[in-house]
């Protein structure tokens, strides 16, 4: 049982690191609260992305989405891995985490400005609040591990995050022509910090806990997309669009099938065994952890895409039908491919299983040019999941027959 779930928080506990093999390690109530705070930021992000696509500001919308989603995902991921290794659940730890949640809310408040004029001042200030609290956590871990090799790892994390945070603050004062290149440089710096720190000595993170945390965040992002689509469709119905309810019904049914299939695909294998296996190779582990940014981004973008498609079906926007369909098809195909290669591929032993989801992604993109594209995408996704379930059952049956 986790410490948060098993007893009250004390005033202070030594931050020596958790047992990476402890039984029953699950997400704590504080971690769930931390995740839910990101719902606000993702909701803001989805709303602004939908507006940008509807108004055909594709370049501005893409830049705003990429910049802001990277900050959201990276802040979440850094806390998640730290908490998996050093969750003491005492008063200082809880207070530092609550400060990070406050930073998330500040970041979320700045999302509209980031999209409307690429003004990232408020998001960067919120990001700096989150990172400062995390630096304090790493310094505390280093202090507690002063006679252990983990001290060097914690200090490397603290130093690397400090350099990156200073770089983001400096980015606010850069000339416009330098900002894109400075952004790309800082992304490289951010991504390099865990590899630099963990290369010396691995932190005591927990494989089952990490896989559960990633799964929970996937559910949260999918849930936010469902909420965004529901609210958007309701607004479309309440608007002054033409009564093309048949087209809207196709979007609604197709959207539900897409969401259900996305959930089914991700949770069709036991991810903790995969994470435990990848932990033996740092680069493989980083590829799995970092690659999920595309999984999360794809899931987050499907909801706004469904809103765009619903409004187009009711003729409440002037967007071309193919562009509206692409707003759903592109993030869906991205999600399908990334889950396939990050999560499923190591478990697939037959050509049928190895090719069903890549073929699904291709067909989803092709459906953009079909009539009732969202409905067809949903049917394709559902069929792919069905084939995968059948193929997995056949493989297990053959293995059982051989074993008998």
Q: What is the DSSP string of 221-246?
A: HHHHHHHHHHHHHHHHHHTT----HH
Residue carrying structure tokens 């931050």 = 15
Q: What is the C-alpha to C-alpha distance for residues 299 and 134, in angstroms, rounded to an integer?
A: 27
Question: Is the pLDDT score of 228 beyond 90?
Answer: no
Predicted pLDDT at 387? 93
Query: Which of 326-359 are b and which e, b meaning 16 or more Cβ less than 10 Å from the residue's Cβ?
Result: bbbbbbbbbbbbbbbbbbbeeebeeeebeebbbe
Residue 313 to residue 309: CA distance in whole angstroms: 6
- CA atoms of 325 and 331, how far apart (whole Å): 11
Place of tokens 């309701």: 234
| Domain residue ranges of the chain, discontinuous segments joined by + | 3-198, 207-403
127, 79 contact by CB (below 8 A): no
38-84 confidence digits (pLDDT tens): 888 898 898 899 888 888 888 888 888 988 899 999 999 999 999 99
Q: What are phi and psi of 362, to 5 degrees?
A: -65, -45
Tell me: pLDDT of 323 over 60.
Answer: yes
Of the candidate ranges 108-112, 115-119, 357-361, the one whose mean pLDDT is the lowest: 115-119
pLDDT of residue 315: 75
Q: Indicate whether 320 pLDDT > 70.
A: yes
In three-state secondary structure terms, 404 is coil
Q: Which residues contact 271 (CB under 8 A, 6 or more apart)?
A: 211, 214, 215, 343
Q: Which is more confidently placed, 326 or 227?
A: 326
258-310 pLDDT, tens per residue? 999 999 999 988 887 778 777 667 778 888 999 999 999 999 999 999 999 98
Among 1-5, 307-311, 316-320, 365-369, which range has the highest average pLDDT?
Answer: 365-369
Q: Report whether pLDDT(88) > 70.
A: yes
pLDDT for 189 beyond 90: yes
pLDDT on residue 184: 92
Ramachandran angles phi, psi of 57, nearest 5°: -95, 65
Range of weakest confidence among 152-166, 185-199, 239-253, 358-372:
239-253
pLDDT at 8 over 70: no
At 211 the pLDDT is 92
Nearest to 22 by CA among 6, 37, 36: 6
| The pLDDT value given to residue 1 | 40
- Distance, in Å, from the CA atom of 92 to the CA atom of 140, rounded to the nearest integer, reads 10
Q: What average pLDDT does the segment 245-260 reach?
A: 90
| pLDDT value of position 401 | 37
* pLDDT reported for residue 273: 78
The residue among 317 and 347 whose pLDDT is bigger is 347
Q: What is the mean pLDDT of the chain?
A: 87
pLDDT, residue 19, reads: 84
C-alpha 109/C-alpha 103 separation (Å) is 10
The pLDDT, as a whole number, for residue 3 is: 46
Classify 207-403 by CATH class: mainly alpha
**Given a cut of 80, is residue 386 above it in pLDDT?**
yes
Q: Tokens 């590829």 correspond to what residue?
A: 287
- pLDDT for the residue 281: 76
């Amino acid at each position: 049982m986790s410490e948060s779930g098993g007893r009250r928080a004390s005033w202070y506990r030594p931050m020596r690191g958790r047992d990476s093999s402890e039984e029953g390690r699950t997400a704590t109530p504080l971690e769930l609260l931390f995740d839910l705070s990101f719902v606000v930021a993702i909701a803001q992000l989805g709303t602004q992305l939908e507006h940008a696509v509807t108004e055909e500001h594709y370049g501005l919308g893409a830049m705003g989405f990429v910049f802001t989603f990277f900050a959201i995902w990276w802040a979440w991921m850094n806390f998640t891995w730290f908490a998996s290794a050093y969750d003491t659940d005492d008063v200082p730890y809880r207070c530092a985490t609550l400060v990070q949640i406050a930073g998330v809310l500040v970041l979320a408040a700045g999302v509209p400005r980031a999209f409307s004029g690429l003004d990232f001042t408020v998001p960067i200030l919120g990001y700096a609040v989150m990172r400062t609290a995390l630096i304090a956590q790493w310094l505390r871990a280093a202090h507690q591990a002063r006679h252990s090799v983990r001290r060097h790892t914690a200090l490397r994390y603290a130093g690397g995050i400090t350099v990156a945070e200073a770089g983001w603050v400096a980015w606010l004062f850069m000339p416009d022509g330098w900002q894109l290149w400075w952004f790309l440089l800082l992304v490289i710096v951010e991504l390099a910090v865990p590899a630099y720190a963990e290369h010396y000595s691995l932190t005591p993170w927990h494989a089952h806990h990490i896989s559960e945390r990633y799964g929970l965040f996937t559910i949260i992002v999918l849930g936010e997309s469902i909420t965004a689509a529901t609210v958007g469709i309701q607004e479309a119905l309440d608007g002054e669009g033409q009564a093309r309810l048949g087209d809207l019904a196709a979007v609604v049914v197709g959207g539900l099938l897409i969401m259900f299939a996305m959930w089914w695909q991700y949770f069709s294998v036991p991810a903790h065994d995969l994470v435990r296996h990848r932990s033996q190779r740092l680069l493989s582990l980083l590829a799995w952890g970092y690659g999920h940014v595309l999984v999360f981004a794809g899931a987050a973008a499907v909801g706004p895409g469904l809103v765009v498609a619903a409004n187009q079906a009711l003729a409440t926007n002037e967007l071309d039908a193919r562009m509206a369909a692409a707003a759903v098809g592109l993030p869906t195909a991205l999600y399908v491919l990334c889950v396939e290669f990050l999560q499923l591929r190591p478990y697939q032993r037959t050509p049928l299983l190895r090719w069903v989801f890549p073929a699904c992604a291709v067909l989803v993109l092709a459906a953009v040019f079909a009539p009732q594209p969202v409905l067809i995408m949903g049917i394709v996704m559902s069929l792919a999941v069905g084939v995968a379930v059948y193929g997995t059952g056949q493989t297990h049956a053959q293995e059982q027959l051989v074993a008998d």
